[in-house]
Amino acid sequence: MEKILIKSSESIANHCSLRTGGIAKELFVPEDLDDLSSFLKHNTSPILILGLGSNILVRDSGFNGVVVKLNNLKHININNSIVKIGAGATLAKLSRLCEANKLYGAEFLSAIPGSVGGALAMNAGAFGSEFWDFVVNVTTVDKLGNIFQRNKSEFEIAYRSVSSNNNDEFFIEAELEFKQKKPTHNIKQLLEKRNKLQPIGLPSCGSVFKNPKNNFAAKLIEDSNLKGFCIGGACISNKHANFIINKDNASATDVENLIKHIQQTVKSNFCIDLETEVKII
């Protein structure tokens, strides 16, 4: 288990699924909420919160502040249909625990390689379900270490987007409710489908672009004949055109240049602006 840890000059590539990115001035992994709160009370540096780093690209110039990883905040408490879960717990674990406790609806989470905190921030979704469909309320912490309970109604929730009047707070816990009487999906089948359609196992950040209204980013990229196209070590997957693979020691600049190339090509072919889903820091 990764206990409390402070490291300086840490490569972000070690902490994100694209396996590239610059250096963070510091990395902090609190052991628990008390650690996190007392750190925040004294901290004056910019903060980047990371879950599993499966949706993030940090530029080669790095991050001149503290990357805070919440993977030790992974407590889970199940009471009838209510699950209280720490932001650092993985979605795979949540999905497995729900299945074991006959709580249904969370099957789709088995296909998303993120943390609860990342899923809250992104409104992660797959196979027709989204994370916030199940949220009752959340616990957040602000940059001074103050803790708040926030109701779902305080957030504006949309496709891969969550915002509120308190955007400077980050998530430390979610209270979820699973009311369904039957599962929506069979997890084994979901994982088989995902493995068939996506380049699982290769370094990527999942879908790079959001789907535009009434369209699919992957289709627009494929119809632009860009499958397999590379810049430096970054390539568009032959399996799924909305995935960029770090094929050969890609720099973050390679990935970002490829993102811009895709956007320009799709714009000139179809007059459609592709908006990134991956968070570029």
Ligand X SMILES: Cc1cc2nc3c(=O)[nH]c(=O)nc-3n(C[C@H](O)[C@H](O)[C@H](O)COP(=O)(O)OP(=O)(O)OC[C@H]3O[C@@H](n4cnc5c(N)ncnc54)[C@H](O)[C@@H]3O)c2cc1C
Residues annotated catalytic, as ranges: 160, 207, 277
Q: Which residues contact 209 (CB under 8 A, 6 or more apart)?
A: 217, 221, 242, 262, 274, 275, 276, 277
From candidates 36, 111, 190, 220, binder to ligand X by CB under 6 A: 111
> Which residue lies nearer to ligand X by CB, 102 or 188?
188
- Taken in order 99, 105, 110, 115, the sign of the CA dihedral is negative
Q: Which of 120, 118, 16, 10 is nearest to 65 (CA)?
A: 10
**Given 12, 36, 40, 56, the residue binding ligand X (CB under 6 A):** 56
Work out how close the CB of 128 gets to ligand X at its nearest, in angstroms, rounded to a whole number: 11
> For residue 176, what are its two tokens?
């979820």
Q: Print burial letters for 183-208: b (CB count within 10 Å at least 16), e (below 16).
A: eebebeebbeebeeebbbeebbbbbb
User: Which stretch in 44-52, 59-67, 225-233, 257-265 sits in contact with ligand X by CB under 6 A?
Assistant: 44-52
Q: Name the residue nearer to ligand X (CB basis): 124 or 235.
A: 124
50: contact with ligand X by CB under 6 A: yes
Task: Candidates 27-35, 38-46, 59-67, 105-113: pick the segment binding ligand X (CB under 6 A).
Answer: 105-113
Applying CB under 6 A, which of residues 24, 57, 67, 126 lies at the interface with ligand X?
Answer: 126
**Least distance from ligand X to the Cβ atom of residue 271, Å:** 26
Cβ-based nearer residue to ligand X, 116 or 266 = 116
Q: Which of 12, 13, 23, 121 binds ligand X (CB under 6 A)?
A: 121
Q: How far is the CB of 250 from ligand X (least distance, A)?
A: 14
| Residue 36 contacts residue 30 (beta carbons within 8 Å) | yes
Question: Which DSSP helix (H) or strand (E) runs through 230?
Answer: strand 230-231
52 touching ligand X, by CB under 6 A: yes
Burial (0-12, 13-18, 19+ Cβ within 10 Å), 271: exposed
Q: By CB under 6 A, which span of 93-101, 107-115, 178-186, 255-263 interacts with ligand X? A: 107-115
Specify the amino acid at residue 219. K
Measure Cα distances from 121 to 100, 228, 244, 247 in Å: 26, 31, 22, 28
Question: Which residues in 62-91 contact ligand X (CB under 6 A)?
Answer: 70, 87
Instruction: Characterize the bridge pairing of strands 125-126 and 129-130.
Output: antiparallel
Which range binds ligand X by CB under 6 A, 4-12, 21-29, 117-125, 143-151? 117-125
135 interacts with ligand X by CB under 6 A: no
Q: Is 246 exposed, middle or buried (0-12, 13-18, 19+ CB in 10 A)?
A: buried
Q: Considering only the C-alpha atoms of the chain, give the largest distance between any 2 of them, rounded to a whole number of Å.
A: 53
* 151-210: contacts with ligand X (CB under 6 A): 170-171, 198, 200, 204-206
Report the residue number, 125 or 233, with the smaller CB distance to ligand X: 125
Q: By rule CB under 6 A, what count of residues binds ligand X?
A: 33
Q: For binding to ligand X (CB under 6 A), which residues are involved?
A: 17, 48-56, 70, 87, 111-115, 117-119, 121-122, 124-126, 170-171, 198, 200, 204-206, 279
